[in-house]
């Protein structure tokens, strides 16, 4: 019985270690999402087109101030940000929930 107990304890320790590593990974993933979210907020506030270009997806969609839905990062950057139509005097965001559903392509 003692060898079986040793194997069971080793297996349990392995499972706990993997669970802890997953928890750490999710925590660091959430920290990264929050950091990128804040980078976007600051870039939008400062009309930093280069940073927004880096942060936004090519398929970015925005509900523009003129009541249009604008599809595509280039359209939003060229038409609204670079031209000054979108020109924030303040920009606050509150990320309320982060859920990680597995790996996401980079």
The whole-number pLDDT of residue 47 equals 86
Q: Render pLDDT for 61-102 as a digit per residue (tens, 0 to 9).
A: 988 878 889 899 998 888 877 777 777 778 777 778 877 777
Q: Is residue 96 part of a domain?
A: no
pLDDT of amino acid 53: 93
Asked if residue 30 has pLDDT above 60, the reply is yes
- Our count of domains for the chain comes to 1
Q: Residue 10's pLDDT is what?
A: 45
Predicted model pTM: 0.62
Per the model's pLDDT, the better-predicted residue between 78 and 19 turns out to be: 78
Least confident range from 22-26, 27-31, 88-92: namely: 22-26
Compute the half-sphere exposure of residue 6: CA atoms within 13 Å on the CB side of its CA. Answer: 3
> Which pLDDT score, from 0 to 100, does residue 24 have?
58
* pLDDT above 80: residue 46: yes
Distance (Å) of CA 71 to CA 39, 60, 68, 76: 21, 6, 9, 7
Please check whether residue 91 lies inside any domain of the structure.
no
Q: Does any domain span residue 89?
A: no
31: domain range?
A: 2-81
Q: Which residue has the tokens 């009309």?
A: 47
Q: Looking at the domain assignment, is residue 99 inside a domain?
A: no
Measured CA to CA, the distance from residue 16 to residue 55 in angstroms comes to 35
Average pLDDT (36-51) is 90
User: 92 in a domain, yes or no?
Assistant: no
Report the Cα–Cα distance between both ends of the chain, in Å, rounded: 49
Collapsed DSSP state (helix, strand, coil) of residue 82: coil
Beta-carbon contacts of 71 under 8 Å, excluding residues fewer than 6 positions away, are 59, 60, 61
């Amino acid at each position: 019985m003692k060898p079986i107990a040793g194997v069971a304890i080793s297996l349990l320790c392995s499972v706990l270690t993997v669970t802890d590593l997953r928890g750490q990974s999710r925590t660091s993933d959430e920290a990264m999402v929050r950091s990128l979210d804040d980078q976007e907020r600051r870039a939008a506030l400062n009309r930093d087109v280069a940073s927004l270009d880096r942060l936004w997806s090519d398929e970015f969609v925005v509900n523009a101030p003129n009541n249009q839905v604008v599809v595509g990062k280039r359209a939003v950057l060229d038409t609204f940000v670079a031209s000054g139509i979108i020109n924030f005097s303040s920009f606050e965001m509150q990320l309320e929930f982060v859920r990680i559903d597995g790996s996401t392509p980079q």
